[in-house]
């Protein structure tokens, strides 16, 4: 029987990241891309965490003029603050995933009125008219 | 846009007696994942339909001479589309990140959580484990929804970490739409039952595949006089479920380790309400009829069976929607999802003895405290399977049966 304060008998860091049983699907044509996307999304996530921590620091400093680590760990934003922070997250995610928004808009455009012309095509058209 | 739907902060998630204690960054991680999942389903996913229409279907038709006509052809059609690839990869990664976030939170304090569970569980007759029970192959074939170790793996003696990990991450997958205790499904069942019949008071309730008991606890609270049995095949989630329920002041549920294909320990007609919540799709084509058969045997005259699931694929469902709904089958370790949604559940229930004229279906959405948590009923985005709005199959046993 383990005591709640005794050292863990598992490697909790390695265990946390364990692979789930079942062959992982490959979505991209290259497995390198698969790997890079996984690393990139993890970094995207950790930057979001850092930004939220920074926001907590700023709010606590503004409110108290000083802070201690416990105040950060137990920080509980009120409803308005939580909404502000949620919107910051959404803006951040929209920013890092910009390329998907733009591709989606281009695809919607294509569905509605045919594919966009290339710049070569537009340039050539303007040279003629 | 000020009317953007924003998930509440992770601090709002209910802290019962075995819930892991999250620090600032662990909460921030779940906040991020809730926002990421919201972004993927609201902003990115609609582009997959455009990618299909604008280019993938044309490319496929040019190569094959016809549009995709089967799910297999749809998969072939979409798998090389870059936009679909990116959305899929991100959706898979967000689930893997959710698992790691939950496990790192839970496992760093595993001794404390297990000890809290032990205090709530020890020598309690309302927790009945059966170490001789074999985990069925449909639970052990792959780790369901990419949860390393699935529901049943024990890392230490008396482990509940599988339950704690499952419970603490439901917020991220649904963007808070399951409510404070992730029990919006159970709350919705209660609301439907009470709207249907005033003073409804089932005597005995069975919950099949209860996992952490989040869906049965609201029924236990709404019907405190009812005797409730909640079963699952996995000991870690049952230990966690029992401790969770006890700490929430619920004392009328007995958690039993059992396989729903064979419940011979319970007498014929001994339950007047039987429910399952997002469970049938985690079984198999051989197990499902046996489970339905047991529900028919166990249901009392005048009783009701409710299976909460996603809608079946039928003739009227567009192929593109079927393809999107099928994504979890291959990409989120839910291997029976597609086959189960292709079955005619009514037909399967008739085969085991239910009367077709006593069957119906209703649409329900998670019931939450809307002053804090987002309502799935008011969410117009279609994410093909993750949002907590469900299709409930209802079968009654109202006539004298010729059993």
Give residue-wise pLDDT tens across range B133-185.
999 999 999 999 999 999 999 999 999 999 999 999 999 999 999 999 999 99
Dist CA B390 CA B188 (whole Å) = 10
- Mapped onto helix, strand or coil, the DSSP state of residue A5 is coil
Tokens of B348: 């399967």
What values do phi and psi take at B124, rounded to 5?
-105, 125
Evaluate if residue B400 carries a pLDDT over 60: no
CB pairs under 8 A between A and B: 194
Instruction: Give yes or no for a contact between B297 and B309, defined as CB atoms under 8 angstroms apart.
Output: no
Question: Which residue of A38, A75, A82 is in closest CB contact with B8?
Answer: A82
In 3D space, the residue among B354, B257, B252 whose CA is nearest the CA of residue B303 turns out to be B354
Dist CA B25 CA A73 (whole Å) = 8
Nearest CA distance, B260 vs chain A (angstrom): 23
Dist CA B260 CA B295 (whole Å) = 9
Dist CA B9 CA B79 (whole Å) = 36
pLDDT for the residue numbered B228: 98
pLDDT for the residue numbered B1: 52
pLDDT for the residue numbered B401: 46
- Does A116 reach chain B within 8 Å, measured CB to CB? no
| Residues whose CB is less than 8 angstroms from the CB of residue B65 and which lie 6 or more positions away in sequence, other chains included | none
Q: The pTM is what?
A: 0.92
Average pLDDT over chain B, rounded to an integer: 94
Contacts of B333 in chain A (CB under 8 A): 20-22
pLDDT for the residue numbered A127: 87
In 3D space, the residue among B266, B277, B188, B279 whose CA is nearest the CA of residue B227 turns out to be B266
Tell me if A27 and B88 make a contact (CB, 8 A cut-off): yes
| Residues whose CB is less than 8 angstroms from the CB of residue A75 and which lie 6 or more positions away in sequence, other chains included | A56, A59, A60, B24
Nearest CA distance, A45 vs chain B (angstrom): 7
Between the ranges B172-186, B365-379, B381-395, where is the mean pLDDT highest? B172-186
Dist CA B185 CA B204 (whole Å) = 19
Evaluate if residue A96 carries a pLDDT over 80: yes
- Does A80 reach chain B within 8 Å, measured CB to CB? no
A-proximal residues of B, 80-109, CB under 8 Å: 80, 82-83, 85-90, 92-94, 96-97, 99-100, 103-104, 107-108
- Mapped onto helix, strand or coil, the DSSP state of residue B138 is helix
pLDDT tier at B380, thresholds 50, 70, 90: confident
Tell me if B39 and A86 make a contact (CB, 8 A cut-off): no
pLDDT for the residue numbered B381: 80
Of B286 and A68, the one with more pLDDT: B286
Q: pLDDT (tens digit, 9 = 90+) per residue, B36-46?
A: 999 999 999 99
Tell me if A90 and B39 make a contact (CB, 8 A cut-off): yes
User: Which residue's structure tokens are 């995610």?
Assistant: A93
Question: Which residue of B32, B92, B108 is in closest CB contact with A49?
Answer: B32
pLDDT tier at B361, thresholds 50, 70, 90: very high
CA distances from B253 to B127, B141, B190, B210, B226 (A): 9, 30, 16, 11, 9
Beta bridge partners of B271: B299
Nearest CA distance, A112 vs chain B (angstrom): 9
Contacts of A104 in chain B (CB under 8 A): 43-44, 46-47, 50, 83
Please compute, for residue B274, the number of CA atoms within 13 A of its CA located in the half-sphere on the CB side.
31
Evaluate if residue B113 carries a pLDDT over 90: yes
Tell me if A86 and B7 make a contact (CB, 8 A cut-off): yes
Evaluate if residue B368 carries a pLDDT over 80: yes
Tokens of B99: 């698992």
pLDDT for the residue numbered A1: 47
Contacts of B54 in chain A (CB under 8 A): 107-108, 110-111, 115
Evaluate if residue B56 carries a pLDDT over 90: yes
The mean-pLDDT minimum among A11-25, B103-117, B177-191 falls in A11-25
Angle, helix B161-174 to helix B82-107, in steps of 10 degrees: 140
Counting every residue, how long is chain B? Answer: 403
- Does A37 reach chain B within 8 Å, measured CB to CB? yes
pLDDT for the residue numbered B403: 41
pLDDT for the residue numbered B199: 87
Evaluate if residue B277 carries a pLDDT over 90: yes
Evaluate if residue B92 carries a pLDDT over 90: yes
Between the ranges A68-82, A90-104, B102-116, B192-206, where is the mean pLDDT highest? B102-116
Best of A51, A104, A111 to substitute, by most chain B Cβ atoms within 10 angstroms, is A104
What values do phi and psi take at A29, rounded to 5?
-65, -30
Mean pLDDT of all residues in A37-52: 96
Evaluate if residue B94 carries a pLDDT over 90: yes
Mean pLDDT of all residues in B266-278: 97
User: Which burial class, exposed, middle or buried, applies to B270 when counting CB atoms under 10 A from its CB (0-12, 13-18, 19+)?
Assistant: middle
Whether ipTM tops 0.90, in short, is no
Nearest CA distance, B111 vs chain A (angstrom): 5
- Mapped onto helix, strand or coil, the DSSP state of residue B371 is coil
CB atoms within 10 A of CB B195: 9
Dist CA B321 CA B310 (whole Å) = 13
User: Which residue's structure tokens are 């297999």?
Assistant: B72
Contacts of A71 in chain B (CB under 8 A): none
Dist CA B351 CA B292 (whole Å) = 9
Tell me if A21 and B47 make a contact (CB, 8 A cut-off): no
Beta bridge partners of B309: B391
- Does A42 reach chain B within 8 Å, measured CB to CB? yes
CA distances from B57 to A67, A113, B131, B320 (A): 58, 16, 52, 11
In 3D space, the residue among B99, B101, B89, B94 whose CA is nearest the CA of residue B35 turns out to be B94
- Does A48 reach chain B within 8 Å, measured CB to CB? yes
User: Which burial class, exposed, middle or buried, applies to B2 when counting CB atoms under 10 A from its CB (0-12, 13-18, 19+)?
Assistant: exposed
What spatial distance separates the first Cα and last Cα of chain A, rounded to whole Å?
85
Complete edge-to-edge strand list for the sheet that includes strand B127-128: B127-128, B253-257, B227-232, B204-208, B271-277, B299-309, B389-397, B359-365
Please compute, for residue B320, the number of CA atoms within 13 A of its CA located in the half-sphere on the CB side.
16
pLDDT for the residue numbered B397: 79
- Does B381 reach chain A within 8 Å, measured CB to CB? no
Instruction: Give yes or no for a contact between B219 and B189, defined as CB atoms under 8 angstroms apart.
Output: yes
- Does A14 reach chain B within 8 Å, measured CB to CB? no
Contacts of B112 in chain A (CB under 8 A): 4
In 3D space, the residue among B286, B267, B273 whose CA is nearest the CA of residue B339 turns out to be B286
Instruction: Give yes or no for a contact between B275 and B45, defined as CB atoms under 8 angstroms apart.
Output: no
Report percent pLDDT > 90 for chain B: 88
In eight-state DSSP terms, residue B233 is: S
Nearest CA distance, A56 vs chain B (angstrom): 9
């Amino acid at each position: 029987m383990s005591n709640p304060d005794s050292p863990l008998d598992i490697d909790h860091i390695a265990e946390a990241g364990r692979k789930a049983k079942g062959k992982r699907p490959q979505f991209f044509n290259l497995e390198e891309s698969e790997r890079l996307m996984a690393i990139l999304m993890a970094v995207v996530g950790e930057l979001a965490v850092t930004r939220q921590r920074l926001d907590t620091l700023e709010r606590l400093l503004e409110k108290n003029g000083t802070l201690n680590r416990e105040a950060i760990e137990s920080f509980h934003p009120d409803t308005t603050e939580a909404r502000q922070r949620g919107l910051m997250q959404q803006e951040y995610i929209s920013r890092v995933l910009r390329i998907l928004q733009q591709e989606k808009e281009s695809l919607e455009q294509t569905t509605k009125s045919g594919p966009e012309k290339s710049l070569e095509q537009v340039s050539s058209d303007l040279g003629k008219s | 846009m000020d009317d953007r739907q924003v998930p509440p902060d992770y601090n709002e998630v209910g802290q019962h007696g075995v819930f892991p204690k999250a620090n600032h960054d662990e909460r921030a991680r779940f906040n991020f994942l809730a926002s990421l999942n919201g972004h993927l389903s609201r902003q990115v996913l609609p582009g997959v339909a455009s990618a299909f229409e604008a280019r993938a279907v044309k490319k496929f038709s040019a190569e094959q001479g016809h549009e995709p006509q089967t799910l297999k052809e749809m998969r072939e059609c979409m798998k090389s589309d870059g936009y679909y690839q990116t959305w899929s990869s991100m959706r898979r990664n967000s689930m893997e990140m959710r698992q790691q976030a939950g496990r790192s939170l839970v496992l760093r304090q595993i001794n404390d959580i297990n000890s809290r569970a032990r205090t709530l569980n020890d020598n309690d007759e309302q927790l009945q484990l059966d170490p001789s029970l074999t985990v069925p192959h449909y639970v052990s074939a792959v780790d369901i929804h990419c949860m390393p170790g699935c529901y049943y793996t024990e890392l230490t003696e008396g482990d509940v970490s599988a339950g704690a990990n499952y419970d603490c991450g439901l917020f991220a997958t649904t963007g808070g739409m399951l409510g404070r205790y992730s029990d919006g499904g159970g709350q919705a069942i209660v609301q439907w039952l009470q709207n249907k019949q005033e003073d409804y008071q089932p005597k005995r309730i069975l919950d099949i595949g209860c996992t952490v008991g989040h869906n049965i606890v609201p029924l236990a609270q709404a019907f405190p006089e009812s005797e409730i049995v909640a079963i699952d095949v996995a000991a870690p989630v049952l230990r966690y479920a029992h401790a969770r329920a006890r700490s929430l002041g619920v004392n009328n549920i007995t958690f039993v380790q059992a396989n729903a294909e064979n419940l011979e320990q319970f007498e014929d007609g001994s339950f007047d309400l039987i429910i399952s919540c997002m469970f049938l799709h985690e079984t198999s084509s051989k197990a499902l009829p046996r489970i339905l058969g047991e529900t028919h045997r166990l249901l009392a005259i005048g009783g009701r069976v409710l299976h909460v699931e996603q809608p079946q694929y039928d003739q009227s469902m567009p192929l593109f929607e079927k393809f999107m709904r099928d994504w979890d089958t291959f990409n989120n370790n839910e291997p029976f999802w597609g086959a189960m949604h292709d079955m005619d559940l009514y037909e399967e229930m008739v085969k085991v003895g239910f009367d077709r004229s006593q069957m119906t279906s209703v649409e329900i959405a998670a019931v939450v405290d809307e002053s804090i948590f987002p309502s799935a009923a008011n969410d117009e985005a279609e994410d093909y399977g993750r949002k907590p709005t469900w299709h409930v199959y209802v079968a009654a046993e109202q006539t004298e049966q010729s059993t």
